[in-house]
Structure formats: structure tokens, C-alpha cells
Amino acid sequence: MNPLPPLDAIEARVLGALIEKDLTTPDYYPLSLNALVNACNQINNREPVMALGEPDVTRALDKLRDKRLAVVITGGDSRVLKFAHKAREVFELSRPEVSLLCLLLLRGPQTVGELRGRSGRMHEFADLNDVQATLGRLAQRENPEQPALVALLPRAPGTKESRYAHLLSGEPVAPAAGVAPDHAAPVTPLSSDTARLAQLEADNADLKRQLADLRREFEDFRKKFE
């Protein structure tokens, strides 16, 4: 299998958000465009926090679909388009493996301890050795045709532990000591106050969308008995 073209920062965020919601809230997955925008712009479990609009996410989805990493879901009971990822199928990943890849996509380079501490909602690793072994499988694939998906970064001066990074956006650059890595250069991180406002607005929009969906479903249900 030839390596896929590198993901840009927004593609990585969109793919990570789709994987996260697939693993943590399967009842609400696949995601509508509005729900996916909200997932991308979350304050918690995101580094950096982004303020993406629907056009940004739509463009990223189009590029991910070209790379076979995302699909659009139509039909069924809903008339709203839904989106899903195909990372597990494309890269032949187990749940533990895709969980770690998701964390690296959403939060950038992390230590083994950070990955274990943040993975609980997606997969419960037994211990640090379990995380380390899973990272090893992502770095050196059993299928020789599959590309490596993570790499161990050189330990930065002044830090106690090395960090792992995903390789879906190309070769990662280890940050200098005391410098936060810039995982999304095209998108300016928000200040904390602006980020909270953006999250509130996103939550409000999501509630309005859910209410509209409920009203539409009720109307469809009512018409069956008229």
C-alpha cells in the first residue's frame, strides 16, 4: 500500500473527531456536519483549540473522502447527511490502536503515561506496558504493506520522557524544550475566553439542531397517522 498524502491540520482534527465520537458516543455516530464542527471545536481534549466553520470542515471531509478515510452516509430515517471515518479499515487497526492514533491526532505528541491517562473512554489499557506495546505495533506494522503510523520523538532537553507523534501529517518535528508544539499552524489557537464563547455558541447551535431534528421527526411520525 502506498502511503497516503499527508493530512493537513484541519484534516487531522476532523479525522480525530470522527474516530473519537465513533468510540465514545456510538449512539450518536455517524455525525452530521454541524455535530462534526462542534466536535472539532471542543475545548476539552483538543490541542490547540480551533474555531473551524462548516466550509473548513466540508473541505477537509472532501479531501479525507478522496483519501478513503471518510465517507458520507445517506438514507435511513434521517434526511440529514452523516459522516463516518474509515481509518480502521484503511489502516487495519484494532480498537486499542485506533484509540491511540485518535489521541495523537487530537492532542499532538504525548508520553506513554499521558496516552494511558487520556484513553479510558475509548479503550482501557491494562498498564503502561500495554500502551507501549500498542504503540510498537503502530510504529512497526505486522502487514509490511501498511505504513508506520506513529514514531517516537527524540527526548527534548529539559524533559523527563520522550513523546510519540502520529505520522499521518508527515514527519513530526520535536519541539524545543519549553516550547509548545504547533500542531495546527494554519489555524490560530483561541484565547481561553474566546474559546469558551465559541464552545457555548457551538453547544447552543447543536441544541437548536437537535430540537429541529426532533420536530421534523415528530412531523414525519404524525403524518403517518393522518
- The answer to whether the CB of 169 falls within 8 A of the CB of 3 is no
Q: Which residues contact 210 (CB under 8 A, 6 or more apart)?
A: none
- Report residue 182's pLDDT band, with 50, 70 and 90 as the boundaries: very low
- The answer to whether the CB of 98 falls within 8 A of the CB of 69 is no
pLDDT in tens, 7-40: 999 999 999 999 999 999 999 999 999 999 999 9
Task: Give domain limits for the chain.
Answer: 9-166
209-217 mean pLDDT:
61
d(CA 171, CA 93): 20
Q: Which residues contact 7 (CB under 8 A, 6 or more apart)?
A: 15, 64, 67, 168, 169
Q: For the domain with range 9-166, which CATH number is right: 1.10.240.10, 1.10.10.60, 3.90.1150.10, 1.10.10.10?
A: 1.10.10.10
